[in-house]
Chains A and B, each alone.
Chain A
């Protein structure tokens, strides 16, 4: 690569390529907000960067059924082994916090010109869950550019239904890189001037609680041209001429 880049990019300079894992990259991007919910999963849709924690504590009946193996030496119940945890983040970015340009096109978005940005989904914490699935819907005026990065699981886009689907079958404790990114774009029309446009809607997650076998599900905030988590792009979401 070095030889090729030397030729292609700058024949008078050495080229050094630094590879930065998406882990460090995305971790640096996202500020953490945290909710803890007991027994029931609530639907949260009030933030751009969301983390949902599902903790399942054993009921009194379940505690009665527990064996000695579930108890610590002093005989108390070990509850940490019995909680299912699922934290998912979803955000849109044009620039990384480190200044890398991820998206392309005018910002604020301009009529008749395509603006692309990246959506990142991350399972930032998970325990006792399997078959995790995150989905989102592309509005009709939003295009899937087919640029993506997938560190874990499977990412698919259904052309007909215009749905983005990310699935992770199992959480491996040795792997803490459960994250993906994909690029989407929009070409605003004349009647979009002054509006903030939806880019990815109906963002839903679901998983199976391995302790109870029950389905966990909820919603995440939609992604719009108002990229609140992107310090360099925030307040540049309204379409201009």
Chain B
């Protein structure tokens, strides 16, 4: 797109926003993994769930939350500024169970449908319910004005509040062949209509609802929990696959859905594309269904979607957080491959792999246990607290996966960067709680003497690391294995020197900071890569001889590192 076209496009988006009275902001989805969603449909969200909800990247909340507690959005945003909110709206029905005063949107819709008698009827003139499981969900006939009404609400009553990032339409069915034993009377002549005519009618008006809604909410995404029908996809930004892997699809359910997820849907859906895979316990309410969770998550990680796991479709309202959600995989760096049939990209039961900056995911979608030996690769299992049988933190070079299971593995680390270390030392990695988050390793650079202090850093931030060697009062600078410079920070002091790097002047490259160790003065110096001294100062009284340890960090977040000094002898 050239600049002129881009300007026109942006202007159109802004105009659409102005017409419908809400600000238009481009949807910026997360591009690191895993991406997790919560399909949380209980309108009255308990306060003690707020902080848990803030752990997710995408939240689908009942539309009435917008008036029940408008503060929920700012509360969660404050804890998680990148979170995305989607307003849950049934697309062709009304939940008549609880029409309490808090259910403002639901009441409004109910009254509108009731007053206009837009209910879908059977041959006896009775309104049609969803099923025996949910008799309180009454179907609407979309062809009598419902499409205009609901799409108007989506833009004017929902998106205009500037708290939602998009609209989520539930129950977007492709046909009604399954409903009420086919007893549906569209033309209200007291006769059961032909099912093909019903389905054609239904798809016509559902497509119209998608079209109208998308036109009215502009660039904000429209996502649907939908039967996969091609004609609906053009106006959608994506969809949810609820109850994945949809056992009712039979043995090929996984392959059918993953093929849609990875290959077919992205060809038709609008940008930005948003896919949500919901796996659950089939209403068993058992959070410890780790294998089901892993299978769903790992399958989701084969593509770019969000993953949601909960009890099931009778109560989507849990805050279930798993060790895998905390594993930071970074960006995806590969597409998928079937390790059991590598050249073949056909989606079928197999052992599927996708790589990320910091690890990989494996999915065993077969009905047999699968074992795989990595070729010259090592990974760490997650060091988790839940299913320690799987996430026990060990380093592995092979893996065995049970049928319908998946696993997230993390790359091992073998080098310390931006912090000084003694060459050859054994390094452990902890989080703030003191848990080991990675396996320990020997930090050793073969080209440099053992026990010498090294600091490896991309000093000019152009991708090429340099190695600073701190030995016997002298700093040597190596790049690509060759010494490019050296300097003696303190001419007369030959003791231990403290060494750090940091960008102290926001010039796009790091500077070298030194402090004289015990026996030397409190003399802190700043040098360039070219070994030119840029600054110096006394960090403590000039007679102090206890030794100064130097560090660098951008404490005040002004893009310039501050110099920190530490002493033991104070």
Contact = CB atoms under 8 A, between A and B. Distances in A.
Interface in B380-426: 394-398, 410, 413-414, 416-419, 421-422, 424-426
B439 interface: yes
B426 A14 contact: no
A113 interface: yes
Contact of A19 (B413, B422, B431, B433): B422
A2 B418 contact: yes
A26 to B, nearest CB: 9
A8 B427 contact: no
B450 A19 contact: no
A149 B450 contact: yes
A21 interface: yes
B38 to A, nearest CB: 17
A16 B430 CA distance: 5
Contacts of A101: 394-395, 439-440
Interface string B422-447: 10111111111110011110111010
Contact of A106 (B398, B427, B444): B398
Contacts of B419: 1-2, 17
Interface string B309-324: 0000000000000000
Contacts of B438: 9
B373 interface: yes
A147 to B, nearest CB: 7
A144 to B, nearest CB: 13
B428 A18 contact: yes
| Interface magnitude class on chain A | 35 or more
Contacts of A9: 328, 358, 410, 413, 429, 437-438
B437 A177 contact: no
B400 to A, nearest CB: 10
Nearest to B327: A10
A181 B442 contact: yes
Interface in B35-54: none
A77 to B, nearest CB: 37
B432 A16 contact: yes
Contacts of A18: 427-428, 430
Contacts of B434: 16
B21 interface: no
A15 B439 contact: no
A114 B439 CA distance: 19
A212 B288 CA distance: 71
Q: Which of B398, B422, B424, B434 has the most CB of A within 10 A?
A: B424
A21 B422 contact: yes
Q: Which of B432, B440, B444, B450 has the most CB of A within 10 A?
A: B450
Contacts of A17: 416, 419, 427-430
B152 interface: no
A165 interface: no
A5 interface: yes
A233 interface: no
Interface string B444-488: 101000110000000000000000000000000000000000000
A19 B425 contact: yes
A176 to B, nearest CB: 11
Given A10-B431, A17-B419, A19-B427, A150 B450 contact: yes
A104 interface: yes
Q: Which of A2, A13, A104, A116 has the most CB of B within 10 A?
A: A104
B418 to A, nearest CB: 5
A30 to B, nearest CB: 14
Interface string A127-170: 00000000000000000000111111100000000000000000
Nearest to B55: A12
Given A1-B416, A14-B431, A8 B425 contact: no
Nearest to A14: B432
A235 interface: no
A114 B429 contact: no
10 residue pairs, one from A and one from B, having the closest CB atoms:
A13-B431, A149-B442, A151-B450, A14-B432, A1-B419, A149-B424, A149-B444, A100-B440, A1-B418, A16-B430
17 contacts: A8-B357, A8-B413, A9-B413, A13-B431, A16-B434, A17-B428, A18-B427, A19-B425, A20-B425, A20-B428, A101-B439, A104-B397, A113-B373, A149-B425, A149-B450, A150-B450, A175-B451
Interface of B: 326, 328, 330, 357-358, 373, 378, 394-398, 410, 413-414, 416-419, 421-422, 424-434, 437-440, 442-444, 446, 450-451
Given A25-B426, A149-B444, A151-B451, 6 more contacts: A11-B328, A16-B429, A16-B434, A17-B427, A149-B425, A149-B426
